[in-house]
Amino acid sequence: MIRILLILCAVILILQSLPGCGENSDPAGSGDPATGQLTIYLTDAPSAAFDSVNIIFSEVSAHIDSQWVTVRSDSLLKVNLLDLSNGNTIVFGSAEVPAGKYTQIRIKIADAYVVVDGQAHPLDVPSGAQTGLKLGPQFTVQEGSTYEMVVDFDVNRSIVVMSPVHNPRYKLKPHLRVTALALSGSIYGNVINPEHAPLAYALQGADTLGSSLVDTQSGFFRLSFLPAGSYSVTIEDTSGQSALRENIEVTAGNDQDLGDIVLN
């Protein structure tokens, strides 16, 4: 009897050692790292100072566990940032990445130029932008899920005009804001008298977190990708007329309607 038991134990041990047998036969236990999907969108605040602002991006990556994971590097991406105002976006980068906590996003810029009054001007790109702009905040990609975030490239704050009177030169000083898409909301409304090119701003204290051109025909505007919180909205047009709405609460995933607004 003892001999039979010993033989059975030996058979069980042999079977467990064979590929596909035992507790590791489940693909989930194969040792493959857990992954999720990271998608990054790019948007921009409007600007009336330029005909176009053209940035050539060479890489987008994310930092986890002392390494940089590439989110986009297959080709150069040329973008006119002014096409991305008023809530418009493009996919900046999207990839399957290791699940876990990420500490930074890195963006590399290869080249840039602006067009003003129909004339193209080089946009001086600092070495830091070429080696990589590092942005927060920290975020976590869960296994099997998709994490979406928006990078807002604020042209008005990101371009400095050097020697503006004679032979102007332009320098890039990137001012970028990163928001988790699932944690953001928006504010929209309708200006009754929009004929003088109004511009709407979302403010928290002295900081402008979003801006939008008001449609001069319909009067509609939307301030998109705002982190949850309390805002003031100010609207000003080129004739000096304005309006102010205060204590507007933005919550994640929701649109806040300001209704009809008259500038005076």
Phi, psi for 182 (deg, rounded to 5):
-70, -15
* DSSP-based three-state secondary structure for 262: coil
pLDDT at 127: 85
Model pLDDT for residues 228-247, shown as the tens digit of each residue: 999 999 999 999 999 999 99
CB 219: neighbour CB atoms within 10 A?
Answer: 18
Tell me what percent of the residues of the chain surpass a pLDDT of 70.
88
* DSSP-based three-state secondary structure for 157: helix
Model pLDDT for residues 108-123, shown as the tens digit of each residue: 999 999 999 999 999 9
Domains and CATH numbers, the chain: 33-174 (2.60.40), 185-264 (2.60.40.4130)
Q: How far apart are CA 175 and CA 232, in angstroms?
A: 21
Give the total residue count for the chain: 264
pLDDT at 31: 63
> Looking at residue 122, what DSSP letter applies?
E
- Give the rounded distance of the alpha carbon of 67 from its chain centre: 21
Greatest alpha-carbon span in the chain: 103
Q: Provide the whole-model pTM.
A: 0.81
* DSSP-based three-state secondary structure for 195: coil
Q: Are 133 and 109 in contact (CB under 8 A)?
A: yes
Tokens 């033989």, located at residue = 7
